[in-house]
Chains A and B, each alone.
Chain A
Amino acid sequence: MLREWSERDISIFVLRKVREELNYFLANGKLQPLPERQLIIEPTFDDAFAFLNEIAEKKTRVSVDIEMLFRRFPYTVALATSPSVAMSIGFGDYEGEHGAKLWRLLDRIFRNNNQIGQNYLGFDSHWLETLGFRVNTGLVDDTMVAHHVLWPELPHKLEFLAMQYTREPYYKDEGRKWRPSEGKAKLMRYNCKDATVTYEVFLKELEELNFPKP
């Protein structure tokens, strides 16, 4: 900060957040609890079906994020229905009729539901289409594009947006350093976290853009 003047405003912003946390501690004698998130991983077919079916039926707005294996193959997809609830579903975890039913439900959601994503139009939706889903881009909101409109000169990666708009501690290493030997559960938890954080970011961006909340 002392050597790079252009970082000054970001540093002041971060220090203000630190002060808020400190004030809470001084007033309450304990650290402010972190946001609670229900991250559902490795769901059974019945759980996944019930979750997706409810989203499809109620046309709930969902935050969508996919994780790749070796940066080449779509591996899991997480859908968050709010900043606090998300489920991660492996693309290849369900065989036969079960797999087909879940893929059809996912397709229905991508066609009919409002969707949110971080760089969704530039990355995730292309991969989803490659897998055979049809994404209705008219229903898509992209947190990266919104942030570019609001703050063109700031970084637009989710890690920065999470710092700017949420109280989620830095977690991006959980995904970046993940290796298959660590097990799928860890990646799915990270996947869910990305989806919920994106949802939270989206709501804050909407406030900033002066749009009515959904």
Chain B
Amino acid sequence: MPLARAFFEIEKRGVAVDPAKLDELRRYVNAELAKSCAAAGGVIGRAVAPSTAEAVALGEGTLNLGSPAQLLVEFKRLGLKVPRSRKTGKESTGEDQLNTMFAETGHAFLREILRVRELNKVLGTYVNAKLANNILYASYVVTGTVTGRRSSRANFLGLGTNHQNLPKHSDLGRMFRRCIVARPGKIFVAGDQDQAEDWIVQAIIADNSGDASGLDELRAGVDRHRKLASFIFSRPLDECEKGTPFRFYGKKTRHAGNYGVGGNALSAELAKEGFHINKQQCEFFLAKFHESEPSIRGVFQRYVEREISTKRFLRTPFGRERCFFGCRPYGDNSSIFRDAYSYTPQSTVGDNTGLAILYFEGSCPGLVVMDLHDEVVLEVPDSVSAVIPAADQLRKAFDREIRFPNGTTIVIPTQFKLGYNLRDMAECGRYNEAGLLRTYNTLNQLPRA
């Protein structure tokens, strides 16, 4: 309840948007939409429109990309095999199916359709989100997920949008994040729990089997996503640094492998961020992952299955419980198990973030502007005397012992970032006053866009 009360206040703050940059992005997206439609039209030899209204305006014979029925006919004409939806069993033109088709065939028409969809999504969800005084609001729903993480959406007046799913790695995502700026005289300070869910998974492994090798690596500060990427792609570590696609693949593969996700779903997940890797390649990534980390299946997943099968519920180290009603005493429980693998890591990290926000709002009210699941973004006055204490307080807010049933104890470290917009945040690493000061001074010397 106290957290719900804290979010009641946080929601009123929102984040500022630079209107000039947003207009620029809107123009870019519209130009890209026209370009992609023209390119798609070039492939199939007739006019293509991104929506029904524009298809009507362009006249008869125009392919409406917003019409699944028209798309299905066009795919058949092009000789493309359309995958069926798992839910309905029918051929589908949903995002996941298109991504799968594109990853399999690399067809130019599919590339353009996916681009149009991405552009439409960014335009509708983010660029054209309703603003009030150039503030992008969001409503955080504390009851929004079964894990206890908050979900986010437009607020009660229909203003703003979901703050937690802003695209990050695609060109459009980067451009939109650049539009989100600190208010005049303010600066963003972000604290991000470093490889947070991996800490929980490795702690469960150590707690249940005594194998603390993964946990020791985390404690020693090893970037395990980078290490995994280097192993999968047989590349030197320095080619898999943070910000490279290799590390991103490594990170996504680790999450998929931890939570029992298959090649198809991993391929769809990567495609959401603009990386089109087919199912076979994804399966290869996952096979390499399990080769390097046998204890994920051997200990972590087995522990979850045992708990669910014997008790039907999971309890996180913070005491949050979830019953798995769908679990049967016989038959196939694999989809329940897949759901359950992610529960403890996601819930624990989400609760740790929630507790950190609660602590922070209690000690320095009025500064939290975003909850990004494993990251908290503050907006503080743009001065050393405000930034350093805020970061220190945020470190204390996250500095929490997490104890597992057999006595394993962890503290997830926090990485800090500073910046004047959400995209160009300068990394400062773990809390270090001198490092923060250096980063702050460097940022201040840069020309501000």
Q: Which chain B residues (311-325) contact chain A, with CB distance < 8 Å?
A: 320-325
Q: Is the CB of A152 within 8 A of B156?
A: no
The verdict on A9 contacting chain B, using a C-beta distance below 8 Å, is yes
Given contacts A5-B326, A6-B325, A121-B4, contact A152 B320 (CB under 8 A): yes
Bound CA–CA A137/B3 (angstroms)? 11
* Chain A nearest Cβ from B144, distance in angstroms: 9
Neighbouring A residues of B143 by C-beta, 8 Å: 119, 122, 144-145, 147-148, 156
Range for the number of chain B residues in contact with chain A? 20 to 34
Q: Is the CB of B325 within 8 A of A126?
A: no
Bound CA–CA A159/B284 (angstroms)? 47
**Partner of B156 from A123, A141, A144, A149 at Cβ < 8 Å:** A123
Q: Is the CB of A8 within 8 A of B155?
A: no
* Chain A nearest Cβ from B330, distance in angstroms: 11
**Partner of A138 from B5, B146, B322, B325 at Cβ < 8 Å:** B5
**Partner of A121 from B8, B155, B320, B326 at Cβ < 8 Å:** B8
Neighbouring A residues of B155 by C-beta, 8 Å: 126
Q: Which chain B residues (127-151) contact chain A, with CB distance < 8 Å?
A: 139, 141-143, 146-148
The verdict on A140 contacting chain B, using a C-beta distance below 8 Å, is yes
Q: Which chain A residues (135-177) contact chain B, with CB distance < 8 Å?
A: 137-138, 140-142, 144-149, 151-153, 156
A interface residues, tally (CB under 8 Å): 29
Bound CA–CA A146/B141 (angstroms)? 13
Neighbouring A residues of B5 by C-beta, 8 Å: 121, 137-138, 140
Q: Is the CB of B322 within 8 A of A153?
A: yes
Bound CA–CA A97/B156 (angstroms)? 30
The verdict on B328 contacting chain A, using a C-beta distance below 8 Å, is yes
Q: Is the CB of B323 within 8 A of A153?
A: yes
Bound CA–CA A148/B321 (angstroms)? 10
Q: Is the CB of B325 within 8 A of A152?
A: no
The verdict on B1 contacting chain A, using a C-beta distance below 8 Å, is yes
Q: Which residue of B lies closest to A127 (CB)?
A: B156
The verdict on A81 contacting chain B, using a C-beta distance below 8 Å, is no
Q: Is the CB of A153 within 8 A of B1?
A: no
* Chain A nearest Cβ from B333, distance in angstroms: 9
Bound CA–CA A123/B143 (angstroms)? 13
**Partner of A145 from B9, B139, B142, B157 at Cβ < 8 Å:** B142
Q: Is the CB of B148 within 8 A of A152?
A: yes
Q: Is the CB of A146 within 8 A of B1?
A: yes
The verdict on A82 contacting chain B, using a C-beta distance below 8 Å, is no
Q: Which residue of A lies closest to B322 (CB)?
A: A152
Q: Is the CB of A5 within 8 A of B139?
A: no
Q: Is the CB of A141 within 8 A of B1?
A: yes
Q: Is the CB of B4 within 8 A of A152?
A: no
Neighbouring B residues of A5 by C-beta, 8 Å: 326, 328
Q: Which residue of B lies closest to A139 (CB)?
A: B5
Bound CA–CA A9/B313 (angstroms)? 14
Neighbouring B residues of A144 by C-beta, 8 Å: 143
* Chain B nearest Cβ from A141, distance in angstroms: 6
**Partner of A137 from B8, B142, B320 at Cβ < 8 Å:** B8
Neighbouring B residues of A146 by C-beta, 8 Å: 1
Given contacts A137-B5, A138-B5, A145-B4, contact A122 B328 (CB under 8 A): no
Bound CA–CA A142/B326 (angstroms)? 28
Neighbouring A residues of B328 by C-beta, 8 Å: 5
Bound CA–CA A126/B11 (angstroms)? 10
Bound CA–CA A6/B146 (angstroms)? 14
Neighbouring A residues of B146 by C-beta, 8 Å: 152-153
Neighbouring B residues of A191 by C-beta, 8 Å: none
Q: Is the CB of B139 within 8 A of A9?
A: no
Q: Which chain B residues (150-200) contact chain A, with CB distance < 8 Å?
A: 155-157
Can you list 14 A-B pairs with a CB-CB distance of less than 8 A?
A5-B326, A6-B326, A9-B325, A121-B4, A121-B5, A121-B8, A121-B142, A127-B156, A137-B9, A145-B1, A145-B142, A147-B143, A148-B143, A152-B320
Known: A121-B4, A122-B142. 8 other contacts (CB 8 A): A8-B325, A9-B323, A122-B141, A125-B8, A126-B8, A145-B143, A146-B1, A156-B143
Give the interface of B toward A (CB within 8 A). Answer: 1, 4-5, 7-9, 11, 139, 141-143, 146-148, 155-157, 320-326, 328
Interface pairs A-B: 7 shortest CB-CB? A6-B326, A148-B143, A137-B5, A152-B146, A121-B4, A126-B156, A9-B325
